[in-house]
Amino acid sequence: MLCQECQEREATLHFTKIINGEKTEFHICDVCAKERGDYTPGSNSFSIHQLLSGLLDTAGQQKPSREIGAQQRAEKQCPSCGMTYRQFAEIGRFGCADCYESFDEKLDPVLRRIHGGNAQHTGKVPKRKGKDLHVYKQIEDLKQKLQQLIAEEEFEAAATTRDEIRSLEHSLKGKGGESS
């Protein structure tokens, strides 16, 4: 594929900008990228944040849209820290851990772009909290099972399952008290 800037050299950098939920693809060669200052091979002054704010840009300068849907999406706000998606896109940083949840629907493509196609953690699970996560998952599963048992009117099995859930929840509470 030829570089879209010079139409001469082979494009070596490919990235996607997302503007108001619309994807625009960019294909540039090393020389043009260097001139643009986004990327300098070798010296590696390639600034991830420059690229990031490009990726995350939803300010919609290129498209003064009056669509309410697009506006709302751009104004999506984290209820915990008050950061808007627009602010996040500008500074390339989350304001708090809950931002991941708040902006979740938009994150997969962004994370994939940054992390070589990956958006899901496969590494370390914290020991203490990891155990809890495991228990939460178990409780979740049991609650689903309980719903089903009740629907099927298997009340005896449902009672056993309910007790299991209670004891697991109890074990979590015990831990919570200990650590605070």
Residues found near Zn ion in the complex (CB under 5 A) = 3, 5-6, 9, 29, 32, 78, 80-81, 95-96, 98-99
* Residue 32, contacted partner among another protein, Zn ion, none, CB below 5-8 A by kind: Zn ion
Concatenate the DSSP letters of all residues of 104-149 into one string: HHHHHHHHHHHTTT--S--S---HHHHHHHHHHHHHHHHHHHHHHH
CA distance 150 to 131: 28
Q: Which does 123 bind (CB under 5 to 8 A by kind): another protein, Zn ion, none?
A: another protein
* Residue 83, CB-side half-sphere exposure with 13 Å CA sphere: 19
CA-CA distance, 61 to 65, in Å (whole number)? Answer: 9
Please, which residue, 16 or 160, has the CB nearer to Zn ion?
Answer: 16
Query: Cβ closer to another protein: 23 or 121?
Result: 121
CB 132 to another protein: min, Å: 10
94 binds another protein (CB under 8 A): yes
